[in-house]
Structure 1
Amino acid sequence: MMELILLRHGKAEDSNPGGDAQRALVEKGHDQARRAARLLHAIDRLPHIVLSSPRLRARETAETFCEAAEIPGPVMQGWLDCGMDPETALQELRAFSDFDRVMIVGHEPDFSSLVEWLLGCSGSSVEVKKGSLVGIEIHPPAWHAVLMFVIPPKMIGKR
């Protein structure tokens, strides 16, 4: 079994002259990542490894999360970039099956598509907001999934 935790990148600047890939987090985004780390620490659910999209806003979210959680920094993964396919994601996650709890930091609509695909729902029934946490228990080899939690950023305390 693998616990998969999704952390959508935090609030980022609306645009950047360097293009979408260079959009940086604003202070609210860093705060969302720190609060997510404190919450997962409090409930004893810190990830054993953090994988991140290489886009700046996701990378900064992952780095801020890891720093606040006092765990090793994130590992950049190209497959987590915008446009991630759910089947590709699961195939790539197999390489990390030695870890009991894996966090991925990425983007929409990719995360919603992954959650829907894992849980067998469809029709845009899921939306993962910026700074949200989603926990899913995955059971190989069939990759049967069970939703553990969805925590929107407004419900993650300011402690």
Structure 2
Amino acid sequence: MELILLRHGKAEDFHPGGDGDRALVEKGIKQSRQAGALLLKLDRRPDVVLTSPRLRAKQTAEHFCEAAEMPGPVIQPWIDCGMDPETAIKELAAFIDFERVMLVGHEPDFSSCVEWLLGVSGSGVEVKKGALVAMEVHPPAWHARLLFLVPPKLMR
């Protein structure tokens, strides 16, 4: 399985309704659409897009899907802030029949997941807002090989 991580785009710094209601700003919308356009151009669109329930992640996933010309995302509560690698792997087992699966979520969860899957915990991996990370993962051991990490600045 190819696992693609897309960190949500740039969002509001504050929302009176709380962290879960922070919306994307224009830059975040642009980042999300650029990621979708890139994977469409490279013919590497995921088979399914799974997203955190937080507004900024849902909006990122929706803009990505629109730009990538694919069906909308599926909300998965386990991708919310605080996702740990072990939980992610257990939940991803349900999607094992897909060739490419995308998760849209948050930091520091994604960096921890990348480090855990690559076996390089504590190495200082940081997934920037709007960045794409793709890994080839091999169940049942769930070890991975990095395919690419593209920061949003290179998607312009």
**Structure 2 residue 13 is the aligned partner of structure 1 residue 14:** yes
Q: Distance in 2 between matches of 1:60 and 1:124?
A: 30
For 1:144 and 1:17, the matched residues in 2 are separated by: 41
| 1:102 alignment partner AA | V
TM-score by length of 1: 0.96
C-alpha deviation, 1:135, in angstroms:
0.3
Q: Which aligned pairs between 1:1-150 and structure 2 lie closer than 5 A?
A: 2-150=1-149
Structure 2 residue identity aligned to 1:43: L
Q: Is the partner of 1:91 in helix, strand or coil?
A: helix
- Count of residues in Structure 1 that have an aligned counterpart in Structure 2: 156
AA in 2 matched with 1:83:
G
Cα deviations by residue, 1:102-155 (Å, 9 ceiling, x for unpaired): 000000000000000000112251000000000000011211200000000001
Identity of aligned residues (%): 72
d(CA) in 1 for partners of 2:23, 2:67: 18
Decide whether aligned partners of structure 1 residues 28 and 118 sit closer, same or farther in structure 2, where only a CA change above 3 A counts.
Answer: same
Q: Which runs of 5+ in 1 are unaligned?
A: none
5+ long unaligned stretches in structure 2: none
What's the C-alpha RMSD, in Å, of the aligned pairs?
Answer: 0.7
Report SS of the residue matched to 1:5: strand
Runs ≥4 residues deviating over 2 A = none
- Structure 2 Cα separation of the partners of residues 142 and 123 of structure 1: 20
Q: Distance in 1 between matches of 2:44 and 2:142?
A: 21
- Residues 35-60 of structure 1: per-residue CA shift (max 9 Å, x gap): 00111111111000000000000000
